[in-house]
Structures are given as C-alpha cells and as structure tokens.
Amino acid sequence: MTKYEREIYTVITTSNEHLTVEQIYGQIQEKYPKIVLATIYNNVNKLYEAGLIRKVSIEGMADRYDHIQKHDHLICRNCGKLSDIVLKDLTPSLQEMVGDGFLSYDLKVFYLCPDCRKRLNSNTGV
Amino acid sequence: MTKYEREIYTVITTSNEHLTVEQIYGQIQEKYPKIVLATIYNNVNKLYEAGLIRKVSIEGMADRYDHIQKHDHLICRNCGKLSDIVLKDLTPSLQEMVGDGFLSYDLKVFYLCPDCRKRLNSNTGV
DNA sequence: AGCATAAGTAGAATTATTATAAAATATATA
DNA sequence: TATATATTTTATAATAATTCTACTTATGCT
C-alpha cells in the first residue's frame, strides 16, 4: 500500500458518511494540498478492486465509497440521503443464498427520511 | 401519451431483455428512421417518472429499462449478463417491509453465469 | 384559420470518469 | 552507492452517458 492509498483508505473507513471521490479529495487535500483528483480515482479504484472498500451507486449521484462490513442501505427517495441499515431478519436468508452459488447481493431500501416526510406533509394543502 | 411515448413503452415492456436507451433507439429507428436520441431520453424519462417503467442501473453499464412487475435481478460478476430472478422465500419479508414505512426496495444478486463459470474454470490451470 | 401548448429536433454543454504520456519517486540489484 | 527497473503521481486530453437550450414542428381548441 502506498502512502496515498493508505490515507484514502483511512478516510473512507473512518468516515461515518458515504463519501464521493470529490469529498475524499477535499479531505486528503487538507493534508496534501498538491494532490490531484486522478490520484484519488486511481487509489480508490485500486482499493475497490482489491475488495478493501465498497462502492455505493445511487441514481443521479456520483459514486460513494464505504467500508466493507456487511450492511444494507436506506435511501431517501426525496433528498437522496443515504444511511446504513441492518436488516436482522432478512440478512440470514440473503447470506444463505450467498454461498449457495451466489456471490453477493446488494440491497437498497427506499423511504422518505423524517425531514422530507415533514416537509412534504406540510406542503400538502398549499 | 404521445406516439413515441407509446412506441417506446411497448418496446420496453414487450422485450425480454433489459434495454439501454441506445437499444431502444435502435428499435424505434427501424420504424421511424428520423427519430433523434434525445427524444428517446425524453420519453424514457417521462415513462420512468410516471412510474410506468423501471430503471436498472448496473456498475459500469448504461442504464437499462424494464417492466415494473416485481422481480429482482441476477447479474453475472464477470460478463454483466442481467437476468430476472424471483426470490420466493425473500419476497414476502421484503414486501412486508414496504408498507411498513418503506417505499420500495432494489435487490441485486451477483453470481457467475454458467458460461463464465465454464470459461473461468477451464482457464484455471493455464 | 389563428393561437396556445406540448413534443420533437439539433447540437452544444456538462459531469463523472478513464486513458495516456511524461515526470517523479521508490525499490531492487550489481 | 550507482544504476536500472518498476511503480506512482501528475497533467491533461478523451470519452461516454446524459441533460440542457433554443428552435421548429405538430396538435388541439375557440
């Protein structure tokens, strides 16, 4: 692992958010102001291909990167807010499938986040 | 619904494949050689926003469009081949979640399709 | 027919991302 | 240590999918 690869890995895995390449770039820049965006792309791809990080693609947004601990994603249909979710009941059946010939799965659940629900409700009668 | 909207809708919903905008374009062109790609985009987006078709986005590939009947997707990790899958055991629990505050879900299962499995196995020792 | 609205066309623009070639840095070896 | 070799980074061009904008055409209504 090169210096930048390690730095980028740390940024991604210690963040509580799901960072885009731009956001990772911003954080690495604080420490290495001369770094170039392509370097972030290169290293993020290396990490992703090595299976050390996870990629989360959501409609209409740039790709985001995440740690690999198994969890699913909850996405607000309205604002795109992305959070982690652990579906205790489902995970066993899904995990069972994996191994049974399947390699992995990707589950996204859509909802309206509390903020959007409030906002949309208060707009109902207007 | 305009002429093209209807034509595009028919192409998408009667196809057994998961078509890209380019592929839809190709099919519509056979009948209307003068149609323009942007028109396909416009109408596909209209149909999608109206909830009449479904969008399937897969890493590294252009978006694909599909009918809305509920099913999940099975994707070959190697060649990207995309097929439909109905997970009888899981669907009820997922459907239960939906309605329980959740709006919908998107489940993709990754595997190696028979062709790729064969090909990769026969390369093992080389 | 005349006008309003919606739809389609043409092509430029945008955005995220990848590719490429040169320069810099790191590593290995004699 | 000096030199060769490989790897990484930089800088910038290229690409691909998609959206935007302005203009034109079609359609529906009075």
Answer whether any strand D atom is within 7 A of the Cβ of A29. no
CATH number for position B112: 3.30.1490.190
Instruction: Tell me: do B126 and B80 sit in the same domain.
Output: yes
Residues of A in contact with B106 (CB under 8 A): 107-108, 110
Residues of A in contact with B44 (CB under 8 A): none
Nucleotide nearest to A46 (CA to C1'): D8
Task: Return the structure tokens found at B108.
Answer: 């993709």
Instruction: Tell me: do B75 and B103 sit in the same domain.
Output: yes
Instruction: Tell me: do A53 and A89 sit in the same domain.
Output: no
Instruction: Tell me: do A59 and A7 sit in the same domain.
Output: yes
CATH number for position B29: 1.10.10.10
Instruction: Tell me: do B18 and B39 sit in the same domain.
Output: yes
Single-letter amino acid, residue B74? L
Kindly identify which residue of chain B lies nearest to residue A117, measuring between CA atoms.
B101
Q: Is the pLDDT at A21 greater than 60, yes or no?
A: yes
Neighbours of B61 (CB within 10 A): 13
Share of chain A above pLDDT 70, in %: 97
- Test A109 with B105 for CB contact under 8 angstroms: yes
- pLDDT per position as a tens digit, B9-21: 999 999 999 999 9
Instruction: Tell me: do A50 and A37 sit in the same domain.
Output: yes
- Run of H or E residues at A76: strand A72-76
Picking from B39, B68, B97, the residue at the C-terminal end of a domain is: B68
b (16+ CB within 10 A) / e for B90-115: beeebeebeeeebebbbbbbbbbbee
Instruction: Tell me: do B19 and B77 sit in the same domain.
Output: no
b (16+ CB within 10 A) / e for B23-55: bbbebbeeeeeebeeebbeebbebbbeeeebbe
Question: Which residue from B87, B103, B107 is facing A77, i.e. has the nearest CB?
Answer: B103
Instruction: Tell me: do A9 and A36 sit in the same domain.
Output: yes
Q: Are A113 and A73 in contact (CB under 8 A)?
A: no
Q: Is the pLDDT at A126 greater than 50, yes or no?
A: no
Higher-pLDDT residue of B79, B125: B79
- pLDDT per position as a tens digit, B25-76: 999 999 999 999 999 999 999 999 999 999 999 888 889 999 998 889 999 9
Selection from B100, B108, B51 nearest residue B76 by Cα: B108
**The predicted structure's pLDDT at residue B91:** 80
Q: Is the pLDDT at A125 greater than 50, yes or no?
A: no
Q: Is the pLDDT at A24 greater than 60, yes or no?
A: yes
Report the domain count for chain B: 2
Instruction: Tell me: do A56 and A6 sit in the same domain.
Output: yes
The integer distance in angstroms from the CA atom of A72 to the C1' atom of D19 is: 30
Picking from A49, A68, A87, the residue at the C-terminal end of a domain is: A68
For residues A22 and B41, what is the distance between their CA atoms, to the nearest angstrom? 28
- Test B108 with A111 for CB contact under 8 angstroms: no
Range of the domain at B47: 1-68
**The predicted structure's pLDDT at residue A94:** 83
Instruction: Tell me: do A85 and A113 sit in the same domain.
Output: yes
For residue B4, the distance in angstroms to the closest alpha carbon of chain A comes to 25
Selection from A13, A62, A3 nearest residue A34 by Cα: A3
Task: Return the structure tokens found at A80.
Answer: 């795109």
pLDDT band with cut points at 50, 70 and 90 for residue A124: low
- For residue B98, give the 3-state DSSP assignment: strand
The DSSP symbol for A17 reads S
For residues A32 and A34, what is the distance between their CA atoms, to the nearest angstrom? 6
Q: Is the pLDDT at B126 greater than 60, yes or no?
A: no
- Test B90 with A94 for CB contact under 8 angstroms: yes
Instruction: Tell me: do A52 and A11 sit in the same domain.
Output: yes
Q: Are A37 and A44 in contact (CB under 8 A)?
A: no
Picking from A68, A83, A102, the residue at the C-terminal end of a domain is: A68
Instruction: Tell me: do A25 and A81 sit in the same domain.
Output: no
- Test B101 with A94 for CB contact under 8 angstroms: no
